[in-house]
Structure 1
Amino acid sequence: MCGRIAVIASPDETAAFLGVADLESFPPRYNVAPTQPILVVTAGPQRPPGSNLPDRMALLARWGLIPAWAKNPSDMPLLFNARSETAIDKAAFRNAMRHRRALVPVSGFYEWKKLPGNRRQAYWLRPRKGGLVALAGLLETWSEPGGSEMDTAAILTTYASADIRHIHDRMPVVIEPENFTRWLDCRTQEPRHVAELMRPAQSDFFEQIPVSDLVNKFANVGPEIQDRVEPLHDEAPARVAKPKAEKRKSSDDDQMKLF
């Protein structure tokens, strides 16, 4: 699962990493949640010979894919993740898997580990070597009844690598830079041709940093939400037994007393 991301690299670093034209200035974003806009990169339009059109283009999309055939998005679940193993078989993702694969640049993502006693420990997972990482995404344009269009996106997930499995059994799919062009090429590369790219990142790729529950609220957007904390223990919290109420001996005198 991938329900929160962060993008704290500069626009120039992001553009260079993705191989796109200069990006408009944007501030660091430490706590990006579904329904908020995210940066997405897709293949550019098909170029005629000798054209100077870019190979890739960047745009903002709502995080939460809305299928083109959806009549009323409020009647649908929020599709911010798509399981890579079954996306091609799902009506909501099938067209995007074939025609609109994308890259979602992030500095890392957050995940929560369930603990006994209905507790959760948040973790900030970032590339151990630093820098950006590109997550596999899907893009879909949804037309509102009034005629306006909205670009929407989902992040593909896969089963977690061995080192992350103690936190969660799912993780986002990471596309390595050498596979950017292949992943984005929806003209010659069908989903079956890129299925092998939808695999877990290598163990030890992500550094796992326990953080406070500040990240639980998307209103918290400062860098302090990524500060390392002492993780909660896996043991269930001790239950303190309540003292038993002392039974009072009945007496005739007490029968008519209120206190």
Structure 2
Amino acid sequence: MCASYGLDPRFDDREYQEVIDAAVLDGLRSWAAGNDGEILRPTGKNLRNLNPLITGVSSWEPAWWGYLVNGAPASFASINTRSERLAATKGALPSRAIVPVSYWREMTKPARIWHEYTAPEDGLLGIAAVTRPGRAADGTDYTCYSIVMQPAAAHLDHIHDRMPLLINPGFAEEWLATPQAGGALIDAAIAAAVPINELIRVAPESGDSPPEDAGRLF
């Protein structure tokens, strides 16, 4: 599963410049600069962080990672959604978005060593997400998101057998804007992601990781 990631303000966005509006990329960079060094984790009862989410080629917003049900974080697992389940969907897929990241993290067990997955040369990565509206107990409305997970690429599965579905920049508009998209869009996104997957590299983190309950409202 993917339970933490980061967005470095020094990200290289050249692959996205012809797809995502400059104002969106500038907004993401400004947000990342204000939160430089933060490890982004699921939003919850105690950790009320909001993370940046690309909701259209011309729009982004701070969003709640995980689903809200009856004003509280869902009691079921909701931060990740299996690509296989979405691909088998009969009818329309949920609304879709892209999570901008510089890296994501997984832990090897039983050694409990964290690893960072990155693209070469500080490249910006886009992770597929599905979204739904949610309302917190205080009445505030949020866009809630779940990261789409697929089987790991062969060169990565020695660390973890799943990885996020990465959105190829050339597929970003199709992912975000296809009306009434069905399960076939998941299969198309997986196929488009293959060359991106091959670029991903993984290395153990240096130093001690901050505690998993670290975080702040941003």
Q: TM-score, normalised by structure 2?
A: 0.77
Q: Is the 8 A contact 2:12 2:121 kept in 1?
A: no
Look up the match of 1:98: 93
The one-letter code sitting in structure 1 at the alignment partner of 2:211 is: K
Q: Which consecutive unaligned segments of at least 5 residues does structure 2 have?
A: 44-48
Alignment of 1:76-155 (within 5 A): 76-87=75-86, 98-115=93-110, 119-144=111-136, 147-155=139-147
Name the CA shift for 1:63/1:102 in 2 (closer, same or farther; >3 Å).
same
Deviating more after overlay: 16-25 vs 202-211:
16-25
- Percentage of matched positions with identical amino acids: 22
Alignment of 1:189-208 (within 5 A): 189-198=181-190, 201-202=194-195, 204-208=198-202
Q: Deviations over 1:26-62 (max 9, x none)?
A: 222441111132111123xxxxxxxxxxx43111101
Once the two structures are TM-superposed, the CA of residue 101 in structure 1 deviates from its matched residue by 0.5
Look up the match of 2:55: 42
Name the CA shift for 1:65/1:29 in 2 (closer, same or farther; >3 Å).
farther
Look up the match of 1:158: 150
Once the two structures are TM-superposed, the CA of residue 165 in structure 1 deviates from its matched residue by 0.6
- 1:11, 1:23 → 2: CA distance? 13
Q: Which consecutive unaligned segments of at least 5 residues does structure 1 have?
A: 44-54, 222-259
Name the CA shift for 1:130/1:88 in 2 (closer, same or farther; >3 Å).
same
Aligned-pair Cα RMSD in Å: 3.1
Q: Which has the larger radius of gyration?
A: 1
The alignment covers a number of residue pairs equal to: 200
Matched, 1:32 2:31: no
SS of 2:84 mapped into structure 1: coil
Q: TM-score, normalised by structure 1?
A: 0.66
- 1:12, 1:170 → 2: CA distance? 25
Deviating more after overlay: 73-82 vs 170-179:
73-82
